[in-house]
Amino acid sequence: MSGLGGLNKSPNGVVIGLVQLQLPVVKTREDLAAQTARIVEMVGKARRNMGTMDLVVFPEYALHGLSMDTNPEIMCSLDGPEVAAFKQACIDNDIWGCFSIMEKNPGGMPFNSGIIIDPEGEVKLYYRKFHPWVPVEPWEPGDVGIPVIEGPKGAKLALIICHDGMFPEMAREAAYRGAEIMLRTAGYTAPIRESWRFTNQSNAFCNLMVTANVCMCGSDGSFDSMGEGMIVNFDGTIIAHGTSGRADEIITAEVRPDLVREARLHWGVENNIYQFGHRGYVAVKGGAQDCPYTYMTDLAAGRYRLPWEDEVKVTDGTGAGFDAPTRAFGERTKEA
DSSP E strand stretches across 270-327: none
d(CA 124, CA 109): 24
CA angle 79, 328, 78 (to 5 degrees): 5
Active-site residue list: 60, 129, 162
Cβ neighbors of 59 (< 8 A, separation 6 or more) are 19, 20, 21, 100, 185, 186, 187, 214, 215, 216, 217, 225
Bridge partners for 158 per DSSP: 148, 182
Fill in the DSSP letter of residue 12.
Answer: T
Q: What is the DSSP letter of 22?
A: B
Phi, psi of 159 (to 5 degrees): -135, 130
